[in-house]
Amino acid sequence: MSKIIPRWEWRTFNQEFGVSEEKIKMCEKEGFKKSEEKYILSKKSDENVKIRNDLIDIKSLQQVNEDKLEQWYPAMKEGFPISADKLEVLFRDFFKIPVPMFKRDTYTYSEFLDELVAPCEQLCIVDVYKERHIFMLNDAVVEIAETKFNGVPMRTVCVEHTDPVNVINTVRELELVGFKNINYINAMKSAVRMATL
C-alpha cells in the first residue's frame, strides 16, 4: 500500500469572499461534488468524525503550525456493521468520552446512531449537505463549497496541499489572509451552539 501523506489545510467560513472568490473562480476547474454526510461532534474532542457512504471516516488533527495551518491525518475508516471493539476505540480515543456499555457484538448503522450516539449527552449528530466546487492553483486543491449544517446554510473556502508553505503562499495569493482560519468541526459546533474545548 502507498504511504499516506497528511495534507495541510487552511479553511474559512463566510457568506461572501469578495475578490478572493473572483480569483478562485479564475483558477483551473477540477470538478464538482455533492454529498450528504453525518458528522458526530463530541463536547470533549475536536476530532473529525463523519459517516459518508455507510463508512465511519475519521481524520485526526496532528498539528497546527505557526501560520495556523492544520495537518489532518486519516485515522480510521470502517464500514457497517462495526464491531464493539472498534467502537470502544472510537469512543475512548476520538470522542474522548466514557465507553458505553455495549449490548451487541456488532452494530448496524442505525443501531450505532440510535442506541449509542443519540442518547449520549456528550455527542451531537449534525446532518451536513455539501456542494463542492474544486479548483487547482499552484498544485494545491482550492475549494468553494455551499454547505448546510442541520439545514443552516454556510459557505466555505479551503486550500489543501501536503506542503504547508505552498498552502500559505496560495492563501496569500488569493488574498484570503484577512479571513479567520476555521475548520469544519469548530464551524459546526458554533452553528449548533455546542461549546468548544
Give the pLDDT confidence of 86-103 residue by residue, as tens digits.
999 999 999 999 999 999
What is the average per-residue pLDDT within 167-186? Answer: 96
What is the average per-residue pLDDT within 9-35? Answer: 95
39, β-bridge pairs: 50, 126
Half-sphere exposure in the Cβ direction for 75 (13 Å, CA): 18
Backbone angles phi, psi at 185, to 5 degrees: -65, -45
Higher pLDDT, 2 or 187: 187
pLDDT confidence tier of residue 195, bands split at 50, 70 and 90: low
For residue 75, which amino acid is it? A
Cα 121 to Cα 36, 125, 151: the distances in Å are 24, 11, 21
pLDDT in tens, 35-66: 999 999 999 999 999 999 889 999 999 999 99
pTM of the prediction? 0.92
Domains of the chain listed by start with CATH number: 7-191 (2.40.320.10)
Here the cell at position 151 is: 439545514
Query: If we measure between CA atoms, which residue out of 119, 76, 77, 80 comes closest to residue 100?
Result: 119
What is the average per-residue pLDDT within 158-164? Answer: 97
What is the average per-residue pLDDT within 75-90? Answer: 96
CA dihedral (89, 90, 95, 100) positive or negative: negative
Q: In angstroms, rounded to a whole number, what is the distance separating the alpha carbons of residues 142 and 138?
A: 10
136, β-bridge pairs: 28, 141
pLDDT in tens, 106-140: 999 999 999 999 999 999 999 999 999 999 999 99
Please, are residues 125 and 167 in contact by the beta-carbon 8 Å criterion? no
Residue 8 has pLDDT above 80, yes or no: yes
Half-sphere exposure in the Cβ direction for 70 (13 Å, CA): 20
Residue 194 has pLDDT above 90, yes or no: no
